[in-house]
Amino acid sequence: MRVVSGIQPTGNLHLGNYLGAIVQWVAMQDAHPGECLFFLADLHAITVRNDPAVLSSNVRELTAALIASGIDPDRSILFNQTRVPQHSELAWLLMCTARIGWLNRMTQFKEKSGKDREGASIGLFGYPVLQAADVLLYQATHVPVGEDQKQHLELARDIATKFNLDTGTETFTLPEPMIGTIAPRVMSLRDGSSKMSKSDPSDMSRINLMDDDDLIAQKFRKARTDAEPLPGEAAGLADRPEAANLVGIYAAMSGISRDQVCAEFAGKGFGAFKPALADLAVAKLSPIRSRFAELMQDVPAIDRILEDGAARARALAAPTLATAQQALGLHG
Ligand code: ATP
Ligand code: MG
């Protein structure tokens, strides 16, 4: 078993990242210590415009936030992509395997490039190929991600299959996506049809793990909802995306089902539900925030963790890259 997953240092960790990905990462690490690699995807972050000063401090802050959330750098390998050059080297080899038609079908590129598709970077278009390299480099068997990454993971499997077939080798293991069941897709607090994202320009659209108690309460209070009371069971949320999202967040954070949440609040309005949701989030997130503040007191220690993680990752990455080069007839 080999578990690999990453997160972009494009902003603060939010509740979607936490419930959709990080909770699963921690569970995998605890069940399979020594077999997990988690990385800060700084090479992915530069596919869109980024302020260099902000990016470098984001890498440290996100590292501290992951540790505060339960990632233990002794039991998992924690590192940033740039320090393991094999990610970029393998990505190039895979660029020559992936087909333009396959990438044209990727919905994230369409969303992120928006109206100016011709003006998007080649990196944003090729993003899923680098992502394939990220996991294939370590012969990942399991990749815990949110639902939005499912399509990219399927592409990684297609790339691995074609590479193995074209070269008549067994160079790459096919990775299995692990889409969590707790909260695979947390939606924006401002719009029930788009997912909560770090890169959403509206800070009110997301709960950041580092938001203080008052801000968390304010964001939930202002979250978009409808005027109906909560239904007695989750089936009653079918055409109510914003209400369904808040109920889903409550369920994920309290470890009970959406039906149980509905039963508890049946007939009550959001005036009663939102403060209960805010209290739950505050109770869950404030210990993470305090631990984060402690860790940020010692930035050199965070840098050492990243350095050590990268050295361990490079040692695992080198043999796969060499095998892939040989399979293509390259003298590496
Ligand atoms: P960006 O907007 O810059 O793409 P992001 O919020 O989408 O940032 P990523 O770094 O791209 O975050 O993704 C990190 C992990 O979090 C991935 O596994 C992704 O599937 C998961 N994830 C991101 N947003 C959500 C969400 N709203 N609900 C559940 N999981 C999510
Ligand atoms: Mg994303």
Q: What is the 3-state secondary structure (H, E, C) of 167-215?
A: HCCCCCCCCEEEECCCCCCCECCCCCCCECCCCCCCHHHCCECCCCHHH
CATH code of 223's domain: 1.10.240.10
Please indicate, yes or no, if residue 14 is contained in any of the structural domains: yes
Report residue 274 as tokens. 């939102």
CATH code of 133's domain: 3.40.50.620
Q: Whose CA is nearest to atom 13 of ligand 1?
A: 7
List, for the chain, all residue ranges whose pLDDT scores fall below the cut of 50.
Answer: none
Ligand 1 nearest-atom number relative to CA 147: 20
Query: What's 14's DSSP letter?
Result: B
Which residue(s) pair with 195 in the sheet?
187
Please indicate, yes or no, if residue 131 is contained in any of the structural domains: yes
> Does residue 207's CB lie within 6 angstroms of at least one atom of ligand 1?
no
Q: By CB neighbour count within 10 A (0-12 exposed, 13-18 middle, 19+ buried), where does 315 fall?
A: exposed
Q: Which pLDDT does position 270 carry in this prediction?
A: 96
> Does residue 146's CB lie within 6 angstroms of at least one atom of ligand 1?
yes
Please indicate, yes or no, if residue 192 is contained in any of the structural domains: no
Q: Based on the fold, state whether residues 278 and 304 are members of the same structural domain.
A: no
Q: Which pLDDT does position 236 carry in this prediction?
A: 95
> Does residue 198's CB lie within 6 angstroms of at least one atom of ligand 1?
yes
Q: Based on the fold, state whether residues 128 and 241 are members of the same structural domain.
A: no
- The count of residues in the chain is 332
Q: Which pLDDT does position 11 carry in this prediction?
A: 87
Q: Based on the fold, state whether residues 46 and 165 are members of the same structural domain.
A: yes
Please indicate, yes or no, if residue 305 is contained in any of the structural domains: yes
Q: Based on the fold, state whether residues 180 and 216 are members of the same structural domain.
A: no
Q: Which pLDDT does position 50 carry in this prediction?
A: 87
Report residue 303 as tokens. 């840098």
Three-state secondary-structure class, residue 145: strand
Known binding-site residues for L-tryptophan equal 134
Q: Based on the fold, state whether residues 8 and 130 are members of the same structural domain.
A: yes
Please indicate, yes or no, if residue 204 is contained in any of the structural domains: no
Under 8 Å between Cβ of 159 and 96:
no
Q: Based on the fold, state whether residues 87 and 172 are members of the same structural domain.
A: yes
d(CA 141, CA 329): 26
Q: Based on the fold, state whether residues 107 and 174 are members of the same structural domain.
A: yes
Please indicate, yes or no, if residue 200 is contained in any of the structural domains: no
If you measure from the C-alpha of residue 136 to the centroid of ligand 1, how many angstroms do you get, rounded to a whole number? 20
Query: What's 249's DSSP letter?
Result: H
d(CA 145, CA 178): 6
Per the structure, the count of domains in the chain is: 2
Under 8 Å between Cβ of 204 and 171:
no
Q: Are strands 142-145 and 76-80 parallel, antiparallel or unpaired?
A: unpaired
Q: Which residue has the tokens 């925030």?
A: 289
What's the first-to-final CA gap in the chain, in angstroms? 27
Structural domain span for residue 170: 3-186+299-327
Percent helix / strand / coil, the chain, rounded to 5: 60, 10, 35
Q: Which ligand is closest in space to the CA of residue 11?
A: 1
Burial 172-202 (b: 16+ CB within 10 A, else e): bbebebbbbeebbbbbbbbbbeebbbbebee
Please indicate, yes or no, if residue 202 is contained in any of the structural domains: no
Q: Based on the fold, state whether residues 218 and 303 are members of the same structural domain.
A: no
> Does residue 20's CB lie within 6 angstroms of at least one atom of ligand 1?
yes
Under 8 Å between Cβ of 248 and 258:
yes
Report residue 319 as tokens. 């043999």
Residue type, 100: I
Q: Based on the fold, state whether residues 135 and 76 are members of the same structural domain.
A: yes
Please indicate, yes or no, if residue 36 is contained in any of the structural domains: yes
Using left for φ > 0, alpha for ψ between -120 and 50, and beta otherwise, residue 269 falls in: beta
Q: Which residue has the tokens 């089902």?
A: 257
If you measure from the C-alpha of residue 325 to the centroid of ligand 1, how many angstroms do you get, rounded to a whole number? 32
d(CA 132, CA 159): 8
Q: Which ligand is closest in space to the CA of residue 14?
A: 1
Using left for φ > 0, alpha for ψ between -120 and 50, and beta otherwise, residue 267 falls in: left
Q: Based on the fold, state whether residues 18 and 120 are members of the same structural domain.
A: yes
Q: Which residue has the tokens 């000063």?
A: 53
Q: Which pLDDT does position 228 carry in this prediction?
A: 94
If you measure from the C-alpha of residue 143 to the centroid of ligand 2, how many angstroms do you get, rounded to a whole number? 15
Q: Based on the fold, state whether residues 251 and 317 are members of the same structural domain.
A: no
d(CA 145, CA 21): 5
pTM attached to this predicted model: 0.96
What is the Cα Rg of the chain in Å? Answer: 21
Q: Based on the fold, state whether residues 282 and 231 are members of the same structural domain.
A: yes
